[in-house]
Each structure stands twice: as structure tokens, then as C-alpha cells.
Amino acid sequence: MLLNALLILLPLFVGYLIPVRSRSVLQLIQGTLSKMVYLILALMGMSLAGVDNLGSNMAVILNVSAVMLGCITLANLAALWWLDRRRGGAPQESAGPQPSKLKMMAESLQLALVVLGGFLMGLLLDLSALPIEQWSEWALMLLLLLIGIQMRNSGMHLRQILLNRWGMSIALCVMVSSWAGALLAALLLDLPPFDALALASSFGWYSLSGILVSDALGPVMGSAAFLGDLGRELLAIMLIPVLMRRHPSAAIGYGGATSLDFTLPVIQRSGGIAVVPVAVVSGFILSLLGPILVLFFLSL
């Protein structure tokens, strides 16, 4: 799992080593980043359409995933709101004219519709012969490479990326508040507390939670874990543009482990290059701890 996280970071740091002096090339990179966000989200929707056995025991799966997601979301946003209050709000780098709330909501809806469009395409067309997962990985690697180039040429130092106290604080808040939300959900659902803690400890990494929880607790709980974490990612995509200006910790942190990869382009698009190191550090810590914590709680 550590190797996987490091492989995700590799193109980011390779990009950081590439100097670009041409303003036109940097503008081209910025435009490409914006377009690739939509490509990755559409591919994510297509992948979702190909998931097996979501229809079996759907009532139980939806109930468990919805209650877990709701409790964890409330706990995460409350803790991250407190962190923003303690920090004093958004960083100076992101200061600027406040966009209208309507515009931010429209952007969130547009991103969600791209995922929905990919999902519907996957349902209506037979895409099983296409390497959707491989395309998604390639697109993500290219996007991270371009973000690394953008970070290098914005004057950002390597120390800001590797040792970011804000990112560490976000990861700690997300981890502890996710556990608090999971324990509340366990009471509401009459679940064993350690099972609920295991479901919460993937921090949005749905491919991880689906596999590990299915092996230990069966396909119904595995599907609930998968759907809850996927719902977290989709909610993050919609909430990031709305929260970024006033509540940047919530915008960066709510996606959990996915702030290292799939929600990173949305974070960069909404908050600018200054928040990328924060998201990378937070996402890396949660991605690293996620599999360890899930397996630990499942063993109890």
C-alpha cells in the first residue's frame, strides 16, 4: 500500500523537476488541467457502471452506506470547520474576488453531471472490452505530472510540499472525526463498533474498503463500504468549489484519501496551486494509514 501511494506521488515529483519558462506553455498546461478534470470524472462514472452485484441486498447496502456517510460527513465537516476557525480561514494565496454562490453551486453541479454522464454511458453502452481502469490511471498520472510542473513554476519550494503542518492537521481531524461519526452510526445501525470503525478508516478509498471489508465481513458489508466511500468522493466533488473560499480545510479534507488523487484536480481548480501541497500531504497520510487501520479494526 505504501508502494502504491509512492507511485501516485512519483509523477507529481517528476513534474516538479521540469522547469518551464514559456508563459504560453504554462497557459496551455492550465487549460489542459481544466479539461482533464472532466475526462477523469467521466471515466470514474463509467467504472462505477461496471461494478458487479450492486443490486443484491440493495436495501441493506443503501441503509448502512447512507447512515455511515451521513454521520461521518457531519463529524468531518464539524471538525474541519473548527480547524478553519482555529487557523483563521483561507490562506492569503487564495485571496481574491469572491465568486457568487450560484456560480460555485453551478460548477459543483456541472462536475457531478459529468460523473452521472459517464455512469449513464456505461449503463447504455457495452464498455466491458475497453480498459477504462487503465485509461483512468494514465489520465491521472498525466494530470499529476502537469500539476507538478505547475507547482515548480509557481515558485513553490519542496519543503512546502513535504512538510506541511496544515495538511497534517487536516489528516488528523479527518481521521479522528471519521471514527466519531462511525461510532454514532454504529449506535444507529446496531453494528459492532469495530466493524463501523473499519468501514470509516478507508477515508474515501472505495476500492480499498470494498475489497478488505468484503473479505472479512462478506459482500453486503463490502458493498456498503464501497458505496459509502464512493458517495464521499462524489459529495466532495460537489462541495469543494462551494467550501473552498470560506472553509478551505473542509474543502481539502472532506475527500479524505482521495485528495491525493481523484479529488486533487478539483481542489487545484477551486483553490489554486497554493493548496495542492496541503491536499497532497493530507491525502498521503490518510492513504498510508487507511489499509493499516482497516485491517487492524477488522482483526478485533
Q: Please give the full DSSP string across 240-291, using - where no structure is assigned.
A: HHHHTTT-HHHHHHTTGGGGGTTTHHHHHHHH-GGGHHHHHHHHHHHHHHHH
Number of domains composing the chain: 1
pLDDT in tens, 58-116: 788 889 999 999 999 999 999 999 999 988 755 544 444 444 556 656 766 776 788 78
Which grid coordinates belong to 60? 441493506
Supply the range of the domain harboring residue 24: 2-298
Choice among 46-50, 103-107, 211-215, 231-235 with the minimum mean pLDDT = 103-107
> What's 203's domain CATH number?
1.20.1530
47 and 132 Cβ atoms separated by less than 8 Å? yes
